[in-house]
Structure 1
Amino acid sequence: MDSQSENGTTTRSYNGVLENPNNITIKGILKLLIESIDSSANGKRVISLGMGDPSAYSCFHTTAVAEESVVDSLQSRKFNGYAPTAGLPETRKAIAEYLTRNLPYKLNPDDVFVTSGCTQAIDVALSMVARPGANILIPRPGFPIYKLCASFRHLDVRHFDLVPENGWEVDLSAVETLADHDTVAMVIINPGNPCGNVYSYQHLKKIAETAKRLKILVIADEVYGHLAFGSHPFVPMGVFGSITPVLTLGSLSKRWIVPGWRLGWFVLNDPQNIFRNSKIIEHIKKYFDILGGPATFIQAAVPRILSQTDEIFFMKTLKLLKQTSDICFERVKEIACISCPHKPDGSMTLMVKINFFLLKDIYDDIEFCFKLAKEESVILLPGIAVGLKNWVRITFAVDPTSLEEALDRLKVFCERHSHQ
């Protein structure tokens, strides 16, 4: 793991993670962490609190309606061919109707484009705003795919901070300072990954008003849409589409617990028809002509999934997420060297700060996570992967028993490495 530099000091390389922190991806670093574990040496099963895939645990599962809808569409033999590049008409219509439920205006099917998961929607959004010399504002901490996609599109990235003491709200004064005439958009992730925040109506309105003053649009990442179980209900950013144009990105993945189905959407919230008066719509349509969307039979299942899923299914999921988030937040309080500044209100993850003054032989979040994996077979995501060095992200979309065991091991690990 360690290597000697030319001046004789020791560098903790961890397979190059520290040397190239800008190239870190969540999946990449989690793969390295898992590969570093020798379970036969410590005799403990691996518990991952790193990847946000709740379907890995039997207590989180999709609804029967979703499964039956996919089976029926496949067995019908009507959806074995190519879908239109923007998505099946009935799928676009169903997504428009689903999102319209929470908006003060009506979306049209033409406002909706079906994507292969939210990741493809992110790539489309950044491709649409890219131009020579342009920059985009993204949150820190945030989802690293935005920075990666921006680099491929030659978009300059500028980070604005989320303030933990204010429930991870956007530092809007920093946004105004960062923006210039080359700024094209700002990204808002709500409910938040990695922080577990859910923004209030008032804060989202201030974000929209700030974007209007700066003459930029808002890219609203709502892949965790409706997964809110705290004091703030989920409010879609599209509610404020009359103030400034909003590109809404979402998917079935989290709310229906089917990340592997890769069914997402890219939606124009533009009731003032600003996009309609430009060539942007035609540009988007042409771009989708070169993309491959999700499987046609999955698309065909969407109308029934969106219209017939029982509210009880959603309530059970939220109840379980509330339970596991409470466990996580309360147990973190018992561990001296870490702290969580804000109790999660939604999503499936939270951020925890490491106090290195209380640790005798660990000096950064990368080392913390690799040693924890090696000694306790517990996987956490180093904060540097989401833009916040010396923090860690914990995923609480885990069955309660496994979560309790993992947090027990985390406590033992911290006690082992603490100053006595």
Structure 2
Amino acid sequence: MSLPTRQRLSEVRYEIRGELARRARELEAQGRSLIKLNIGNPGAFGFRAPEHLQQAIAGRIAQTDPYTHQQGLPEAREAIAAHHAARGTPGASADRVFIGNGVSELIDISLRALLNPGDEVLLPSPDYPLWSAATILNDGRPVYYQCLPENGFLPDPDEIEQLVSSRTRAIVLINPNNPTGANYPPELVARIVAIAERHGLLLMADEIYDHILYDGAIFQPLAPLAGDVPCVSFGGLSKVHRACGWRVGWAVLSGHRDKMRDYSAAMDLLGALRLCANVPGQFAIDAALNGQDTISPLCSPGGRLYETRRALIESCAASPHLQLVAPQGALYGFPAVVGPAAHAFDDHAFALELLESEDVLIVPGSSFNVPYRNHFRVTLLPQPDAMREVFARVDRVLSRRAAIAA
């Protein structure tokens, strides 16, 4: 008889690395060559962490053997605090910075510090599914506010406020957004802050893509608008600095210190229980935040991310089967299947057919906790020509489906 496992795991989904990814590994073992667009993993597409970050670690490697403080290296926390102070985070200081093994670990710790059984967290739909999973596994309940494609994947603050209940503890924003690429304007962020203030809620801002922006889009950090409202802002090296494998993320607490005192102590306790975060990568934080800007050229015309995004936009515009809200930030596109090809459409079945027949791995849109099943996510990390080839294959599958529907 198989060993029993935690029951709540049955409620958790993470298709980004799930069944389809396992099938992809089986096909690769058979000798198939796949184009895998399921994970925003820059190093897998030939990107490297900037040289000055690599050198910052190499020059301090002899100092990386001991544990550090559970909140992280003091000099790294000072650099993060200064970075946040420069962009307007109130009361930014090193004692309010927590460094973790990527933002993923910090999301889990931050929710574990907050939630009691049955507490609710307001999450965007679509969301990055780790947020839903971490809420569930910390005995909370995800409650979704809709970010609809017809509204540019931006949320409706009125809907958010209607979802607030006596059990609501936090509002999560993912900005710029994964999977849609939406970028939230200041007036929208300010309205969400006002909701949190009226109802005494914690704001949680997943801002890991904060400098990955296109076509003049401007990022609005949450903490400066939140002021005294309790807020946790997440960032890291994985995306902007293309260093996913280093597992370096941070959470910055802001808001009135008296309101955040117990929460900060809970974060510190949970950080101490896991001893400390990866030490070598922390030596790159100061260089990342104060060194050369290496992401803007990639996001500007002629830059690789910009041109692959262009290929995505043009491919969807040329297809009779696809619609796209052009991503304004982050590393993803979230196209919709429309027309006859969308008849009785199932995004998981489509993703499996695309993998089996065309050697392309994508993520079904429903994996991101949306109520519809006609979207899918791709990453913008491949070369532009590879993206155009991917959508030629997507169109072949959708044309077959449209012909059957007709």
Q: What runs of 5+ residues in structure 1 fail to find an aligned partner? A: 1-19
The structural deviation recorded for 1:357 is 3.3
Q: Partners of 2:25 and 2:401 in 1: how far apart?
A: 22
Q: Partners of 1:283 and 1:118 in 2: how far apart?
A: 17
Aligned to 2:307: 323
The structural deviation recorded for 1:266 is 1.2
Aligned to 1:352: 335
In structure 2, what residue type is equivalent to 1:155? Answer: G
What SS does structure 1 have at the residue aligned with 2:60? helix
CA offsets, 1:162-208, max 9 Å, x none?
A: 02222211122221111112100011000000000111111111111
Aligned to 1:281: 264
Q: Partners of 2:117 and 2:30 in 1: how far apart?
A: 53
Aligned to 2:57: 70
Q: Percent identity?
A: 24
Q: What runs of 5+ residues in structure 2 fail to find an aligned partner? A: 1-9
The structural deviation recorded for 1:225 is 1.2
Q: Partners of 1:414 and 1:260 in 2: how far apart?
A: 35
**Scaled by the length of structure 2, what TM-score is found?**
0.90
Q: Partners of 2:110 and 2:20 in 1: how far apart?
A: 26
Aligned to 1:85: 70
Aligned to 2:7: none
What SS does structure 2 have at the residue aligned with 1:279? helix
Alignment of 1:5-154 (within 5 A): 22-35=12-25, 37=27, 45-58=33-46, 60-74=47-61, 77-103=62-88, 105-154=90-139
Q: Is the 8 A contact 1:33 1:379 kept in 2?
A: no
Q: Partners of 2:225 and 2:186 in 1: how far apart?
A: 10
For the pair 1:210 / 2:195, whether they are aligned, the reply is: yes
The structural deviation recorded for 1:22 is 4.9
The structural deviation recorded for 1:292 is 4.3
Q: Partners of 1:410 and 1:235 in 2: how far apart?
A: 34
Aligned to 2:3: none
Q: Partners of 1:155 and 1:39 in 2: how far apart?
A: 39
Q: Is the 8 A contact 2:89 2:227 kept in 1?
A: no
What SS does structure 2 have at the residue aligned with 1:186? strand
Q: Is the 8 A contact 2:90 2:223 kept in 1?
A: no
The structural deviation recorded for 1:83 is 0.7
* Greater Cα shift, 167-176 or 249-258: 167-176
Q: Is the 8 A contact 1:134 1:156 kept in 2?
A: yes
Alignment of 1:149-188 (within 5 A): 149-188=134-173
Q: Partners of 2:241 and 2:276 in 1: how far apart?
A: 19
Q: Partners of 2:207 and 2:138 in 1: how far apart?
A: 22
What SS does structure 1 have at the residue aligned with 2:189? helix
* Coordinate RMSD, CA, aligned: 2.1
Change (3 A) 1:103 1:235: same
Q: Partners of 2:28 and 2:93 in 1: how far apart?
A: 53
Q: Is the 8 A contact 1:73 1:301 kept in 2?
A: no
What SS does structure 2 have at the residue aligned with 1:417? helix
Q: Is the 8 A contact 2:212 2:296 kept in 1?
A: no
Aligned to 2:278: 295
In structure 1, what residue type is equivalent to 2:122? Answer: L
Q: Is the 8 A contact 1:190 1:199 kept in 2?
A: yes
* Greater Cα shift, 27-36 or 366-375: 27-36
What SS does structure 1 have at the residue aligned with 2:335? strand
In structure 2, what residue type is equivalent to 1:28? Answer: G
Q: Partners of 2:198 and 2:289 in 1: how far apart?
A: 36
Aligned to 1:371: 353
What SS does structure 1 have at the residue aligned with 2:121? strand
In structure 2, what residue type is equivalent to 1:111? Answer: R
CA offsets, 1:96-141, max 9 Å, x none?
A: 1122221164510011010000101110111121023311111100
Q: Partners of 1:87 and 1:275 in 2: how far apart?
A: 23
The structural deviation recorded for 1:243 is 5.3
The structural deviation recorded for 1:39 is 8.9
Q: Is the 8 A contact 2:20 2:352 kept in 1?
A: no
Q: Is the 8 A contact 1:193 1:349 kept in 2?
A: yes
What SS does structure 1 have at the residue aligned with 2:59? helix
Q: Partners of 2:282 and 2:91 in 1: how far apart?
A: 22
Q: Partners of 2:45 and 2:50 in 1: how far apart?
A: 15
Q: Partners of 2:86 and 2:342 in 1: how far apart?
A: 50
Q: Partners of 1:102 and 1:30 in 2: how far apart?
A: 40
Q: Partners of 1:38 and 1:289 in 2: how far apart?
A: 41
Q: Partners of 2:237 and 2:105 in 1: how far apart?
A: 13
Aligned to 1:15: none
Q: Partners of 2:145 and 2:124 in 1: how far apart?
A: 5
What SS does structure 2 have at the residue aligned with 1:418? helix
The structural deviation recorded for 1:394 is 1.4
Which among 409, 412, 416 is matched to residue 393 of structure 2?
409
Q: Is the 8 A contact 2:341 2:398 kept in 1?
A: no
Aligned length: 390
Q: Is the 8 A contact 1:275 1:281 kept in 2?
A: no
